[in-house]
């Protein structure tokens, strides 16, 4: 039996993929040395959906969770954060995915995933909210839902449908190579398929080099642009981000965005905050530079708190931060 959660009006932005539970260590150190964990709602696309809603733009989540306590918890957290959960299915066939996360004293993370045969990868094409995909301005995706079928076919179909109806697709690979049954080769071919429908590609520097099969960033950017996306934002952690845009005339324009100086508490979800701030900026009609600046500010705020979803700022917190950062 599958329960769905209906909320009628399509959101402005829909995020598709995994919602899971992050158990984040309460002590710093390697996973084998910590002894207690705290439960946080997580999953990159779910984090982005919350980030967008908190910044005042209607967002929705498309995905599948288990018909279990953790699935109920995730739906209620998304609802409480103003995310439209009409695109979520619950299934008794598989549990909600879990991730155990530890942090070093420098804020770097180590992950252990319990997500083999979990609910999120069981999302099918027929379960997609097609009315949303025909009306949304943006569809945001990660690569976890692309790792295997049936969610791979559902994700590709959602991107095609959004594109065909004039919406834009943003794709943050959030790469976990160990989740791909056939490793990097499979990951390469599926990434190529999704990039064909991608308008904004949001990889880290390591991810774009790995996905494009080169150790030269310039070469990686050219290869990625050739596969489809006109805008590429390369996230470089403490060094900010590099943006490359292919203009309608086929020229390339690049600029960098430095980070804001903040104290790092936990870097979990910084990239998701960047994506949320950037997409909200573009929805609001900002220039690409202004949208990138807003994404950077959201990411900077996220790393000053614990957790990913729980650390995302509200519209007011973002405005205060920007006002005091100039």
Q: What is the pLDDT of residue 206?
A: 96
**In contact, 59 and 114? CB cutoff 8 Å:** no
Predicted local confidence at residue 2, as pLDDT: 43
Q: Among 315, 246, 322, which Cα is nearest to 276's?
A: 315
Predicted local distance difference test score (pLDDT) of residue 7: 60
What are the residue boundaries of the structural domains of the chain, listed by start?
2-17+45-87+121-325
CB 54 within 8 A of CB 312: yes
- pLDDT category at 68 given cuts 50, 70, 90 is very high
Task: Give the mean pLDDT of the chain.
Answer: 93
Average confidence (pLDDT) over 40-66:
97
Q: Phi/psi of residue 236, each to 5°?
A: -125, 30
Cα 26 to Cα 248: distance, rounded to the nearest angstrom = 49
Contact indicator for 49, 78 with CB cutoff of 8 Å: yes
Strand partners, 21: 41, 98
Question: Of 62-66, 162-166, 181-185, 254-258, where does mean pLDDT reach its minimum?
Answer: 181-185
DSSP notation for 217-242: HHHHHHHHHHHS-SEEEEE-GGG-EE
Sign of CA dihedral 88, 119, 133, 83: positive
Separation between Cα atoms, residue 167 and residue 188, nearest integer Å: 25
For the segment 102-158, what is each residue's pLDDT rounded down to a tens digit? Answer: 988 776 778 888 888 899 999 999 999 999 999 999 999 999 999 999 999 999 999
Distance CA 295, CA 300 (A): 9
- Return the H-helix or E-strand segment holding 289: helix 288-302
CATH class, range 2-17+45-87+121-325: alpha beta
Q: Is 38 helix (H, G, I), strand (E, B) or coil?
A: strand
Tokens of 51: 């980030």
The pLDDT tens digits of the residues spanning 244-259 come to 999 888 889 999 999 9
Q: Looking up tokens 């596969």, which residue turns up?
A: 227
Closest CA to 170 of 42, 302, 281: 281
Kindly give the residue spans of alpha helices, DSSP state H, lying in 102-258: 130-135, 151-164, 183-195, 205-212, 217-227
Share of the chain above pLDDT 90, in %: 82
pLDDT for res 109 = 77
């Amino acid at each position: 039996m599958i329960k769905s959660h209906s909320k009628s009006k399509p959101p402005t932005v829909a995020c598709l993929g995994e919602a899971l539970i992050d158990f984040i260590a309460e002590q710093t150190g390697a996973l084998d040395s910590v002894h207690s964990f705290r439960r946080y709602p997580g999953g990159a696309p779910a984090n982005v959906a919350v980030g967008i809603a908190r910044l005042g733009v209607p967002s929705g989540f498309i995905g599948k969770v288990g018909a279990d306590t953790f699935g109920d918890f995730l739906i209620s957290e998304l609802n409480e954060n103003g995310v439209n959960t009409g695109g979520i299915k619950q299934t008794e066939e598989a549990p909600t995915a879990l991730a155990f996360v530890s942090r070093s004293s420098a804020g770097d993370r180590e992950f252990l995933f319990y997500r083999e045969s979990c609910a999120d990868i069981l999302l099918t094409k027929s379960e997609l909210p097609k009315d949303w995909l025909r009306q949304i301005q943006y569809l945001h995706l990660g690569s976890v839902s692309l790792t295997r079928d049936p969610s791979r076919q559902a994700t590709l179909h959602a991107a095609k449908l959004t594109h065909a109806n004039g919406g834009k697709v943003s794709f943050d690979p959030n790469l976990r190579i160990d989740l791909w049954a056939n490793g990097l080769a499979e990951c390469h071919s599926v990434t190529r398929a999704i990039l064909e429908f991608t308008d904004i590609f949001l990889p880290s520097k390591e991810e774009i080099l790995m996905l494009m099969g080169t150790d030269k960033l310039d070469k990686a950017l050219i290869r990625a642009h050739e596969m489809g996306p006109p805008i590429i934002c390369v996230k470089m952690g403490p060094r900010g981000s590099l943006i490359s845009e292919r203009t309608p005339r086929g020229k390339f324009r690049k600029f960098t965005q430095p980070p804001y100086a903040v104290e790092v508490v936990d870097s979990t979800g910084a990239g998701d905050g960047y994506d949320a701030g950037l997409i909200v900026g573009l929805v609001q009609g900002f220039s690409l530079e202004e949208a990138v600046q807003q994404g950077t500010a959201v990411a900077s705020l996220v790393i000053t708190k614990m957790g990913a979803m729980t650390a995302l700022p509200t519209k007011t917190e973002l405005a205060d931060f920007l006002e005091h950062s100039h």
